[in-house]
Structure 1
Amino acid sequence: MTLQTIILAAGMGSRLGRSLPKPLTELNDGRSIMQQQHDNIHAAFGDDVRITTIVGYRAETIIEAFPDVNYVHNERYDQTNTSKSLLRGLAATGRSGVLWMNGDVVFDPRILGRAIALIERDQSFVTVNTAKVSDEEVKYTVDAEGYIKELSKTVKGGIGEAVGINYISSRDKQAFMRQLQRVDDQDYFERGLELAIVENGLLLEPMDISDLYAVEVDFAEDLERANLFV
């Protein structure tokens, strides 16, 4: 079965202070953030992988740069957060499991190679980094079995950070979508995962990539750090 992937790229990314959508930000190696994502996806999963990009702010600039992928528009990009953008994308990908990522993540291509075994098992997971725990980032805790228990920016006593690359299995997808419908427009998609854990028994595995790099580019200093790796 063809792997379904989603890139969330609807937001304005105003904190980086650039006029173009953040995924089009150029890296030191001449590629955009989104181009390195495409390259990493194809390196791990081949040319048959299906990429669906959620666009909103200045959508035409992303579509022009990457005309050969599928697009879903979030016309309310300036009023909603990643929960609603992801919901639109999941609705466009049928019944299969879906790998998704935030459109501003610069990451080691080996991360997706590490994810293949979990995807082949159709096991829902969140990619995590246990090397640091910052107040501004999405943090997590685990239950006695080692599955994700809490997942948000407000988690207390977090044991690591989520890095914005995730997978929802085919069996968990519908429950997750129902929770994404319920959450507030300004909620991140992590809120839907938390609700699915509590109410639907979602078993969400943390996939540790602490030995590899993954940088979510929100500010200029993040971009500087990402450029140290590419």
Structure 2
Amino acid sequence: MKAVILAAGVGSRLGRPFPKSLSRLPSGECILGRQIRILREIGIREVHVVVGFKKSLLMEEFPNVCFRYNPVFYITNTSKSLLAGIEDLDDDILWANGDVVFDPEVALRLMQAGGNAVAVDRKKCGEEEVKYRTDAAGFITAISKQVENPEGEAVGLNLVSRGSLPDLVAALESCRPDDYFERALEMLVEKTPYRAVDISDYRCIEVDFKGDLDEARRLFNEGA
């Protein structure tokens, strides 16, 4: 299994002059550094980071990971960054947005799901959060920012099996430049099952705004 972390974006909503994945947590680690450490601790040795905005800062901070470049990061969204990260890989892939702070158990649950999987938090969602709905068997039937009667949030960590990887690549290729990668999943879920993996018992937060970063620092203030 390999991991891909999407860290190419400008992060304009947070309003920082550097990639938001470099934002520091109380432990002294930055968000991206914590992600890389956790992924390696749970057994994923090969980590690819998709960069764009101020890429040299990330590359200097983490010289021991693989880097992939989205050269049009300023006019594309996460669908194209994910495509840049996985298009020539041939393995099971766990991928994550580079601004998600999470407990190790979140990634472990995905790895143990036994196939394609989306980590979800069964909570009330705001307008900006990616929402989801499932069928009776627990597989995703809808995933986007606009889902009627959502069950909660898709938190930004996902897993695709090696056998389903070509379909995901093809769906990402057909996405518009400004699409989130969830648009590709939305196109696939009717024919390719993606299981919703409930991680509501664990800490996990995506940092979009300053308030999110403040909350992440409160949640993870013990340095674990």
TM over 0.5: yes
Give the match for residue 32 of structure 1. 30
Aligned mate of 2:206, from 201, 204, 216:
216
The question of whether the paired residues in 1 share the 8 Å contact of 2:110 and 2:118 is answered with no
Aligned mate of 1:225, from 208, 215, 224:
215
Per-residue CA deviation, residues 109-145 of structure 1 (Å, 9 max, x unaligned), is: 2212223322xx3x00000000232221000011232
Distance 1:185 1:221, change over 3 A: same
Q: State how far apart, in whole Å, the 2-side matches of 1:92 and 1:100 are.
A: 15
The question of whether the paired residues in 2 share the 8 Å contact of 1:134 and 1:161 is answered with no
The question of whether the paired residues in 1 share the 8 Å contact of 2:110 and 2:158 is answered with no
Aligned mate of 2:96, from 93, 96, 101:
101
Structure 1 stretches of 4+ moved >6 Å? none
Identity of aligned residues (%): 39
2:139 equivalent to 1:147: yes
Q: Which moved more, 1:79-88 or 1:134-143?
A: 134-143
Q: Which moved more, 1:130-139 or 1:75-84?
A: 130-139
The question of whether the paired residues in 1 share the 8 Å contact of 2:8 and 2:52 is answered with yes
Number of aligned positions between the proteins: 220
The question of whether the paired residues in 1 share the 8 Å contact of 2:100 and 2:156 is answered with yes
Give the match for residue 69 of structure 1. 65
1:229 CA drift (Å): 2.1
Aligned mate of 1:127, from 93, 105, 119:
119
List runs of 5+ in structure 2 lacking aligned partners: none
The letter of the residue matching 2:99 is D
1:85 CA drift (Å): 0.6
The CA RMSD measured in Å over matched residues stands at: 1.1
The letter of the residue matching 1:145 is A
The residue matched to 1:14 in structure 2 has which SS? coil
Q: State how far apart, in whole Å, the 2-side matches of 1:80 and 1:116 are.
A: 29
Give the match for residue 160 of structure 1. 152
1:196 CA drift (Å): 1.2
Per-residue CA deviation, residues 195-223 of structure 1 (Å, 9 max, x unaligned), is: 1123xx11000010101111101111101
The residue matched to 1:75 in structure 2 has which SS? coil
1:42 CA drift (Å): 1.5
Q: State how far apart, in whole Å, the 1-side matches of 2:212 and 2:71 are.
A: 28
TM-score, L = length of structure 2: 0.95
The question of whether the paired residues in 1 share the 8 Å contact of 2:111 and 2:159 is answered with no
List runs of 5+ in structure 1 lacking aligned partners: none
1:19 CA drift (Å): 0.5
The question of whether the paired residues in 1 share the 8 Å contact of 2:106 and 2:202 is answered with yes
The residue matched to 1:171 in structure 2 has which SS? helix
2:112 equivalent to 1:117: yes
The residue matched to 1:186 in structure 2 has which SS? coil
Q: Which moved more, 1:34-43 or 1:80-89?
A: 34-43
The residue matched to 2:169 in structure 1 has which SS? helix
Q: State how far apart, in whole Å, the 1-side matches of 2:57 and 2:218 are.
A: 26
Give the match for residue 49 of structure 2. 53
1:33 CA drift (Å): 0.5
